[in-house]
Amino acid sequence: MPFAIELTDLDDVKIVVPLAMRDDRGFFMEVYRQDLFAELGLPASFLQLNHSRSSKGVLRGLHFQWDPPMGKLMRVTQGRAFLVAVDIRVGSPTLGKWVGVEMSSDEPRQLWAPASFARGFCVLSDYAEIEYLTTGTYSRATESGVRWNDPAIGIEWPVVDPILSAKDESAQYLREWLARPESANFTYRGADPTDS
């Protein structure tokens, strides 16, 4: 099996470890394979591939989209970054809990988080490039986010004074999201790692 799965403190958030074949020329690895992802209980179909580059100290997030639901499989292709997923499911026993994982291009791993989790990252190296496969296509009208430093979530970001977009700096708090009718799109129905 060219993939291994590492569990996290949140049942639906997984770390996917591609097994690289290395020799003196470099390495080769399978990043995604539909049949094996389905066998592992991961989404077998992705609809969009995004790629971003950010400078040291940049923090992006915490983002999500409810229609179409957009789960993300994120990986660092250059540099080092701290990737985060936060449970935003109404009624979830882990509502507001988060997982944070430092990842780098030197040790290829991927973070899978379903659509019902807000995702973000901050850059730890001089710059980092991050790719993410998504289970839905982007919709400006149905995307949203929660504040990166919401005290109700309490993420321990490994950066001081992060560089933020105006949109991320003024994002809503988790309690505000939960008061919106759209939050019902992410209602807890038990652990389901294939939740798109």
At a CB cut-off of 8 Å and minimum separation 6, what does 189 contact? none
Residue 20 lies in a domain: yes
Q: Residue 187 domain-assigned?
A: no
Residue 157 lies in a domain: yes
- pLDDT (mean) for 138-150: 97
Question: Is residue 32's pLDDT more than 80?
Answer: yes
Taking residues 17-26, what's their average pLDDT?
91
| pLDDT score for 196 | 52
Mean pLDDT of the 188-196 span: 63
Residue 35 domain flag: yes
- What does the pLDDT read at residue 76? 98
Catalytic residue annotation: 63, 132
In a domain, 196, yes or no: no
Q: How many whole angstroms separate alpha carbon 42 and alpha carbon 103?
A: 20
Compute the distance between CA of residue 88 and CA of residue 85 in angstroms, rounded to an integer.
Answer: 9
User: Is residue 56 included in any domain, yes or no?
Assistant: yes
pLDDT score of 1? 76
61-107 pLDDT per residue, tens: 999 999 999 999 999 999 999 999 999 999 999 999 999 999 999 98
The reported pLDDT for the residue numbered 115 is 97
User: Cβ(49)–Cβ(133) under 8 Å?
Assistant: yes
At 191 the pLDDT is 59
**pLDDT for res 157:** 98
Range of the domain at 176: 3-182
Residue 146: per-residue pLDDT? 98
Q: Is the pLDDT of residue 43 over 90?
A: yes
pTM here? 0.93
Q: Tell me: pLDDT of 163 over 80.
A: yes
Res 179 pLDDT > 80 = yes
In this prediction, residue 192 carries a pLDDT of 55
Looking at the chain, the number of H-run helices and the number of E-run strands are 3, 13
Residue 189 lies in a domain: no
Q: Residue 128 sits in a domain of what CATH number?
A: 2.60.120.10
Specify if 193 maps to a domain: no
Task: State how many domains the chain has.
Answer: 1
